[in-house]
Amino acid sequence: GAHTADLDWNSSFMLSFLELVSGLTTPAIHPARAAQIAAINANSSLTWRAAANARFAFQPPGASRSSNGVLGDWAADIRAAVARGDVAHYVPADATLALPESFDSEEHWKECAKVIGDIRDQSNCGCCWAFAGAEAASDRMCIATGGKMVVPLSAQDVCFCGGGLFSRGCDGGQITTPWEYIKRTGAVTGGQFKGSGPFGRGLCADYSLPHCHHHGPQGDDPYPAEGAPGCPSEHSPTCPKRCDDGSAKGHDVWDDDKILFDGEVQTASGEQAIMKMIYEGGPVETAFSVYSDFENYDGGIYKHTSGSMAGGCETRRDAPRSTEMRRDAPGCAAALARGCPIGSARSKMAGVACPRHVHDTSRAGTR
């Protein structure tokens, strides 16, 4: 009898333990968020659906604010850069250019597919401003040189050495900073954490912060979720002054590995101009607004519906009519739900969230 009682007690204890664990891993939905989700789903005219994302469920709308890495008013920042002469307005080389129905930079510039297809991970660090710039600049460098320079520019260098007055590593930055930095001082080469990307080891300065799982179900993603052991909220490391140990010959001296560009940095505004910029010269860096309702994205074609602005985010974009933000740095708030289609006026999507400002170097050479 005593043995049977022990089994019953153990079974009851285990059931209670599992209920406790379940309660810890499935937090209650914040009342304000629950109301926001209910209002979105009650609107039958919308093209997307909302649900509580475990990352933000227990917090009020706007909880993604700390994840958005763009500081200040980036539109005003660009206007000021144009007024100073640091940035020029993009003018298509072919004014009569007719855009195709679909386009993918990786397919179009096959000689640069390795670098264009390199999707980097910024870890739990608000460095989207630097990642987007370093990646787009790497792509355009390859395209501008006809595939002679197929190498990634270091996000480690751009993020932690390239900050200006309003660009502070993991604490966010501005869209103009990476381009100003690369043009002025250059960036060394560098790939992903511990050489885990397609370029492996041997470049000057690989990214030093670990891979993380950023959004959506964990699935078979081997990396820890943001905030879990192994993926803490990061502080900016010190700007490196020397290449990584084990860097290959030709990439082992910091100053000698720097790559700069000549020419002008350009900005485009409006969907048609952005699409033409990508089609003519390759991927671009974009900045866009993130609203609190996007934290609840659960599928469909997103359009801002309710809630205030939670901040700004930057990403690399390589397909003029892509229905996905395929080039996001994964930690960017654009991917904080599950990665989603963003509404634009010209594709089969209805909305107003098309990126408004981008930078490129389509007229730039490298040295």
Interval 88-118: pLDDT, tens: 999 999 888 889 888 899 999 999 999 999 9
Q: Are strands 265-269 and 87-89 parallel, antiparallel or unpaired?
A: parallel
Nearest C-alpha neighbor of 266 from the set 126, 119, 364, 141: 364
Beta bridge partners of 179: none
pLDDT of residue 218: 78
Listed as ranges, residues in the chain with pLDDT below 50 are 1-26, 320-367
> Taking the model in full, what pTM does it have?
0.74
Whole-Å CA distances, 273 to 139, 242, 243, 336: 19, 40, 39, 27
Provide the Cα torsion 216, 218, 220, 221; round to 10°. Answer: 80
First to last CA, the chain: 84
What was the pLDDT predicted at 204?
98
Return the half-sphere exposure (C-beta side, CA atoms, 13 A cut-off) of residue 44: 0
Hey, is 41 helix, strand or coil? helix
Residue 242 identity: R
Residue 305 in contact with residue 49, Cβ under 8 Å? Answer: no
CA 195 from centre of chain: 19
Rounded Cα gap, residues 295 and 310, in angstroms:
10
Indicate the helix (H) or strand (E) that contains 21.
Answer: helix 2-25
pLDDT value of position 2 = 41
Amino acid occupying residue 159:
C
What is the pLDDT, as a whole number, of residue 64? 76
Query: Encoding tokens for residue 339?
Result: 């990665």
The pLDDT tens digits for 146-176 are 999 999 999 999 999 987 665 678 888 888 8
Half-sphere exposure of 43 (CA within 13 A, CB side): 15
State the pLDDT at residue 66. 63
Task: Find how far residue 165's CA is from the centre of its chain.
Answer: 22
| Whether 337 contacts 216, CB under 8 Å | yes
Q: How many CB atoms lie within 10 A of CB 1?
A: 5
Q: Are 325 and 333 in contact (CB under 8 A)?
A: no
Instruction: Tell me the two tokens of residue 65.
Output: 């604010």
* DSSP annotation string for 297-338: EEEE-B---SS-EEEEEEEEE--TT-SS-TT--TTSGGGSSS
The pLDDT value given to residue 121: 92
Task: Please provide the DSSP assignment of 46-100 as one string.
Answer: -SEEE---TTTTTS-TTGGGGG--B-S-HHHHHHHHHHHTSEEE---S-TTPPPP
For residue 118, what pLDDT is reported? 94
Beta strands 297-300 and 357-360, pairing class: unpaired
Residue 206 in 3-state DSSP? coil
Give just the sign of the alpha carbon dihedral 342, 347, 352, 358.
positive
Report which of 167, 181, 202 is spatially closest to residue 72, judged by C-alpha positions: 167
Radius of gyration of the chain (CA): 22
Q: Are strands 265-269 and 365-366 parallel, antiparallel or unpaired?
A: unpaired
Predicted pLDDT of residue 164:
65
Q: What pLDDT is attached to residue 154?
A: 98
Report phi then psi at 175, rounded to 5: -70, -30
Beta bridge partners of 288: 313
Return the percentage of the chain with pLDDT > 70, whole number.
73
| pLDDT for the residue 67 | 63
